[in-house]
Amino acid sequence: MSEHVPQVHGHCDPRFAAVRTAFEENFSSRGELGAAVSVTVDGVPVADLWGGWADPARTRAWERDTVVNVWSTSKGPTALCAHILADRGLLDLDAPVADYWPEFAAAGKERVLVRHLLSHRAGLSGLREPHSLEQFYDWELTTARLAATEPWWEPGTRSGYHAFTYGFLVGEVVRRVSGLLPGAFLEREVTGPLGVDFTIGLPEKEAGRAAELVHPPTASTSEQAAIFSQLAPAALAALANPVLGATEANSPGWRAAEIPAANGHGTARAVAALYGIFAGRGTYDGQRILSPEAAERVREGQGGCLDIVLGTGLGHETEIGLGLWLSGPTESYGPNPRAFGHDGFGGSCGLADPEAGVSLGYVMNRMGPHIADDPRKQALVDALYSAL
């Protein structure tokens, strides 16, 4: 390979050679810097590949245990925490949020249900008052403001992507029920027992193996202003209060914080394992995490619509289950319309398809400009299904 196309490391079963080819083409043709992809079939790893560089200066190779911030791919593990509690009878997804979080009933939210939080239908896509990045680092302040604010639209009627607030909303319910923030709960119940290399935030001692995120191509200031001027208030609150990107996510403050919607850190192997719990109908690596019924409930569709926050950017209707997005007619997670998963800002992805028994994790550090369905991710998904 030329110096511009780094060597790909790891293993790939011959049957899934198309995945390796697509991964290599991401470097040669789609601008990849550093990345990893992992695929499991019936819980068995069939592809575990990595390559490229962990930093834009190309001084650190991407290694087998390199971790990276996966942005909203974190939402799958966060939803998992709530579903574990529901599976144990400790959380009723059809109960009002205020049953567990009494302060949440303020400003007309007394009838908002737990399922509305999981499906981005709570009307709380962002805060109405200016909220800084440093304030996002303050769990108590952020959740108190969410409890006090009024919804942007009638809860339960439509989805509107809760880009950052999702993790605080679902996470505070997890905390009220279990006594633990989602990161600690996930470690105790899932990642610790399974030995999965994924954390909400990143412990300081692990910083040396974290890849550095690189900004996607950005519009000019005037172009950005024009884009923001077209956004509805609920979308502006979700995506620009505050505006966040690679610089913020590379900072020690971000890594030290608990932002369960957006600052999960892990390997592709870890993402494939966590989404593999859903693909395995609640079981992964011989350990049952959810009952089959609870695992199935994660993809219980809540109705298709043009998402209030992302609709214009995506250009088509989408449907969210109780925590994850359904593949649907756009085949975002493969040709099975009931496969499901979650993309992260800039390109990362976790995918689960119980019918095919497959899960996929894809992580990278050079962020693309796409809201969802980054061409690099889509090439890997298409390659996976071509091999089945």
State the CB neighbour count (10 A cutoff) for residue 328: 18
What is the percentage of the chain residues whose pLDDT exceeds 70?
99
From CA 209, how far away is CA 79, in angstroms rounded? 26
From CA 366, how far away is CA 53, in angstroms rounded? 10
Residue 188 φ then ψ, to 5°: -70, -40
From CA 286, how far away is CA 96, in angstroms rounded? 35
Range 294-321 average pLDDT: 93
Residue 52, C-beta contacts closer than 8 angstroms, at least 6 positions apart:
6, 27, 32, 33, 34, 35, 61, 62
Kindly report, residue by residue over 332-354, the tens digit of the pLDDT. Answer: 999 999 999 999 999 999 999 99
Six-digit token pair at 268?
Answer: 């592709």
From CA 174, how far away is CA 185, in angstroms rounded? 8
Six-digit token pair at 156?
Answer: 């339960």
Range 205-231 average pLDDT: 84
Domain topology for 1-388: Beta-lactamase (3.40.710)
Is pLDDT of 4 > 80?
A: no
* 72 is an active site residue: yes
DSSP for 84-122, written as a single string: HHHHTTS--TTSBGGGT-GGGGGGGTTT-BHHHHHTT-S
Instruction: Indicate the pLDDT class of residue 224, thresholds 50, 70 and 90.
Output: confident
What is the pLDDT, as a whole number, of residue 311?
86
Which residues lie across from 360 on neighbouring strands? 39, 351
Among the listed ranges 251-260, 310-319, 351-360, which one has the minimum average pLDDT value? 310-319
From CA 94, how far away is CA 92, in angstroms rounded? 5
- Annotated domain spans of the chain: 1-388
Range 95-117 average pLDDT: 98
From CA 158, how far away is CA 151, in angstroms rounded? 12
Helices (H), the chain: 17-29, 75-87, 114-118, 133-136, 139-148, 165-178, 182-186, 192-194, 221-230, 233-240, 246-249, 252-256, 268-279, 292-297, 311-314, 375-387
Kindly report, residue by residue over 16-29, the tens digit of the pLDDT. Answer: 999 999 999 999 99
Kindly report, residue by residue over 232-242, the tens digit of the pLDDT. Answer: 899 999 999 99
Nearest CA among 302, 259, 279, 265 for reference residue 352:
279
Task: Name the catalytic one among 72, 159, 178, 348.
Answer: 72
